[in-house]
Amino acid sequence: MDLKLAGKKALVTGSSKGIGEAIARKLALEHAILIVHGRDRILATAVADDIIANGGRAYAVTGDLTHDDEVQRLVDDAEAFAGPIDILINNAGGSGGTTESWTDSRAESWSAAYDRNVLAALRVSTRLLPKMRQARWGRVINISSLAATIPPASRADYSACKAALNAMTASMAKAVASEGVTVNAVSPGTIHSPALEGAFRQGAVERGLANMDAPWAEIERVALPIFAQVPVGRVGRLEEIADAIAFLASPLAGYITGVNLRVDGGLSPSL
C-alpha cells in the first residue's frame, strides 16, 4: 500500500536508537525526508547516514529537549535542511532509570520526568505547529505508554507524565482539527528491546525455566507470563510500532485525530 508519504518532511525526536530509530527507518522506506534527532551526534548521524546509504534522504540534528535554546537550534537546523516540517513524532522521553518508590519519591524526580516527557514534546510542537496550520496539513504523533492508562505501583512519575501527554494530545487535536492537522498518541505495550530481552532471560534463569543462552523463542514463551499477560502470546516488534505510526502520519489517516492507539497485543483489559 502506498502511504503517500513521498516528499513529506518528518522530524522524529529520540530517533538515534530504539523505537524512534525504527520509526525513522520506516518513514524513510515510505520515501519521507527524515530529520533524525538524538543527544549523541555520532549515533544520530550513523542512523541518518545509513538511511542515505539505502537510498533515502535524511539529516541529523542534536539537542537536549529540556532546553529551549537547544530546541530552537535543532528546529532551525531541520528547517534549513528540509524546509517546514510536515510530520512530528514526539518520541524522546522515558523513565530516566529512576526506581524511587512511594516512600522515597522526590518532587524533583517528578519535575525532571515531566520536563523530559511532556514539556520536551510541548517545546518542539509549539515551534512546528504554526507552519503546519498555515500549510493546512500536518501530523503530530506523541509516543505514550500503557502506563498512562494502566499505571503500575512503581515509577508513578512516568505513568503520570504519559497520562499528561495523552491529555495534551486530546487538547491539541481539538485545537487544530479544522486546519488539516491531526494529533494522535500511540501507546506501545510489551515491545522487544535489548533491555527487555535481558530482563526476560534473567527472569527465566532465576526461576529455572531456561538457560541464559536459550533461543529467544524459548525465552519468550516461558518468561512472558512472568512479566505480562499478553493475549497474543508474544512481545511486540519495533517494526509493528513503526508501521502503525507510519499509517497515522500518512494522508490516509486524515480523519483520525485525538486518538490514543494502543499497540499492545490485547494487553489492555478494556477499550
Active-site positions read 158
Best CA proximity match to 48, nearest among 38, 35, 39: 35
The DSSP secondary structure of 48-78, one letter per residue, reads HHHHHHTT-EEEEEE--TTSHHHHHHHHHHH
Q: Do the beta carbons of residue 32 and residue 250 sit within 8 Å?
A: no
How crowded is the C-beta side of 93, counted as CA atoms within 13 Å? 29
Strand order in the sheet with 260-263: 57-62, 33-38, 9-12, 87-90, 138-143, 181-188, 260-263
Q: Do the beta carbons of residue 26 and residue 73 sit within 8 Å?
A: no
**To which H or E segment does residue 110 belong?**
helix 107-114
| Calpha distance 120→251 (Å, rounded) | 26
Spatial neighbors of 184 by CB under 8 A, at least 6 apart, are 140, 141, 142, 169, 173, 248, 253, 256, 257, 258, 259, 260, 261
Q: Do the beta carbons of residue 141 and residue 185 sit within 8 Å?
A: yes
Label residue 206 left, alpha or beta by phi (over 0 means left) and psi (-120 to 50 means alpha): alpha
Q: In this structure, what C-alpha cell is assigned to residue 212? A: 541464559
Q: In this structure, what C-alpha cell is assigned to residue 124? A: 518542539
